[in-house]
Amino acid sequence: MDAHAYRENLFRLLGDKNPLEVLAQTAPALGDVVRAHSVEVLRSRPFAGKWTPNEIIGHLVDGEWTYGYRLRLIVSEDDPVILGTQQDSWVARQQHNRRDPSELAEAFRTLRELNLAAWKQLSPDDLKRTGRHNERGAEPLGVMLRMVAGHDLSHLNQIARYVQAVLGQG
């Protein structure tokens, strides 16, 4: 999927929801998933070549760390370069599927708490500040905020589908 289509898909998922409210709801939703399902279910790979639910949670942790860094970089510097990541390599090399799901969910909660506080402090002028993504081009913080919220919704939906597939309901 090209960069424009990717961005538009995330915006479509977000719709008219408040991105800050979506961000505030993701950590509790992940906590619910981890409490509702066994480690075995979360570490199961329902589709060959795709992530497990646990790896998706690990990816969300990586994304929270990455987006938090990008947020601070754009607020603090003028038009900085922001680099994309090789997400499959990050998930595999950090061995997210071997990690305890509750620890991943807690890491996400902690990072999200810190980053959500930073997002809430931004002024309308701050949201216009731009970084230059090496794959997507100019990206204002307001756009990034909406993308992060859409990314959350996309992966929460993915986790639900994958858990259902593992449990034989999908």
The predicted structure's pLDDT at residue 135: 85
What's the rounded mean pLDDT across residues 47-56?
97
Residues 6+ apart with CB under 8 A from 157: 13
Mean pLDDT, residues 5-29 taken together? 96
- Identify the band that residue 23 occupies on the pLDDT scale cut at 50, 70 and 90: very high
Residue 160: what pLDDT? 98
Distance between CA 67 and CA 150 in Å, rounded?
A: 13
How far apart, in whole angstroms, are the C-alpha atoms of residue 80 and residue 78?
6
- Residue 151 makes CB contacts below 8 A (sequence gap 6+) with 10, 63
pTM: predicted TM-score of the whole model, two decimal places: 0.95
Region 119-127: mean pLDDT is 98
Mean pLDDT over 26-52 rounds to: 97
Tokens 């990690």 belong to 99
What does the block give as tokens for 96? 């997210």
pLDDT level of residue 1 (50, 70, 90 thresholds): low
pLDDT for 62 beyond 80? yes
Percent of the chain with pLDDT over 70: 98
Mean of all residue pLDDT scores within the chain: 95
Average pLDDT over residues 81-91: 92
Which spans in the chain are helix H? Answer: 3-14, 19-36, 39-43, 53-76, 87-93, 101-121, 141-166
pLDDT digits (tens, 9 = 90+) for 143-158: 999 999 999 999 999 9
Check whether 69 has a pLDDT greater than 80.
yes
Q: What is the mean pLDDT of residues 55-61?
A: 98
Predicted confidence at residue 128, as pLDDT, reads 98
